[in-house]
Structure 1
């Protein structure tokens, strides 16, 4: 991942980014009250206090705004991953755990928004495809982590790293669905910790588990 540019953004660029963020935040505020499908561009621009035409300067459609928000979330995860220095981390399992907990903290900020995003992905093919693009990208990052862990003898090597990455992402979805559908009063981070602890033997090499049990 390339390092961010140290060039300071101009005033115009800062104002553009502020307006973009206002529009996204307005949409999220409305999604706290009702599903994304029921939120209108007019409501977003009114709450953001910008002209309706301004919306289309930043986002061709309402769906593009939602994608921008999901893209921002993904970029925050990658920045967190870079800060962990995953390439040189002594434990790729711990990297996986920390990343999942980071995502859980982000999702847990609003149960209603998380639910609205899920409904939008189920009901809107364009939003669903945008989300799947982000998931595919995230899977590639996870594959590299599992591949490195296998090379170090940390993860089981009887299945491809692609399979381990796919199953890890499935686990987070399982945590998210339990939180949204069955257990909304439990902290999402707690659910993630419990699920990871239970399924750790499905990922980690038996010899490494044996070493941990004798420590």
Structure 2
């Protein structure tokens, strides 16, 4: 292993330690009541080291949000059909939450409990933009019924956020990937235009 690889691994380990410490504190005492000094102490690092990785404590939450969005974006396949794209990005999100269950759950609790509406809206915009792109493809191709685009985007966002919120607070019941799939299927029933298929048959 090269020295640059070792440095990269140490940096990633430090970032992970900061995130885990921050999530535990956010869950225990709330986002607003948690300071950067407390996070640094819990992560066993200097305060200056914290700022090497994150400009603010809000950026810790943003980092996790960016990770799940990156997983969804990587899974997206423009041109494959709107329904297929939605299935792939929802599936990727479910897998990410399963693989990162503890910090992901704590991130959701912190966001639901502590952040103001402006912060919540800002954190959701990348997802809304992705959904808007997919819905636009579905409308343009005729795959989706001729519905209002923004109404469809809001419905899909609800199909995503509702299962995530339910999973955050209820640890029993179906796994999150299953919940996401069920909600997406219900949304697609309302959106997919089946008239062409009926005419072809």
Deviations 1:56-98 (A, max 9, x none): 33333322222222223322322232xxxx2221x31021012
Contact 1:35 1:116 in 2 (8 A): no
Contact 2:91 2:180 in 1 (8 A): yes
Q: Distance in 2 between matches of 1:116 and 1:148?
A: 31
**Change in 2 beyond 3 A, CA 1:14/1:112:** closer
Contact 1:31 1:116 in 2 (8 A): no
**Change in 2 beyond 3 A, CA 1:31/1:113:** farther
Give the corresponding residue for 2:89. Answer: 99
Give the corresponding residue for 1:155. Answer: 144
How many angstroms does 1:47 deviate by?
4.4
Of the structure 1 ranges 177-186 and 162-171, higher mean CA displacement relative to structure 2 is found in 177-186
Determine which of 84, 87, 98 is the counterpart of 2:78: 87
Give the corresponding residue for 1:34. Answer: 28
Q: Distance in 2 between matches of 1:112 and 1:68?
A: 11
Contact 1:142 1:165 in 2 (8 A): yes
Tell me the TM-score normalised to structure 2 length.
0.77
Give the corresponding residue for 2:101. Answer: 110
Q: Distance in 2 between matches of 1:34 and 1:113?
A: 15
Give the corresponding residue for 1:199. Answer: 187
Determine which of 55, 68, 72 is the counterpart of 1:73: 68
Tell me the TM-score normalised to structure 1 length.
0.72
Determine which of 114, 125, 142 is the counterpart of 1:123: 114
Give the corresponding residue for 1:14. Answer: 8
Deviations 1:134-182 (A, max 9, x none): 312221221121111122221111x222221121011112222333345
| Ranges in structure 2 where 5+ consecutive residues have no aligned partner | none
Contact 1:111 1:180 in 2 (8 A): no
Of the structure 1 ranges 64-73 and 176-185, higher mean CA displacement relative to structure 2 is found in 176-185
**Change in 2 beyond 3 A, CA 1:98/1:73:** same
1:58 and 2:53 matched: yes
How many angstroms does 1:203 deviate by?
1.0
Aligned residue pairs total 195
Give the corresponding residue for 1:3. Answer: none
**Change in 2 beyond 3 A, CA 1:11/1:178:** closer
Contact 1:36 1:116 in 2 (8 A): no
Structure 1 stretches of 4+ with a deviation exceeding 4 A read 10-13
Q: Distance in 2 between matches of 1:211 and 1:101?
A: 31
Contact 1:26 1:48 in 2 (8 A): yes
Q: Distance in 2 between matches of 1:96 and 1:87?
A: 10
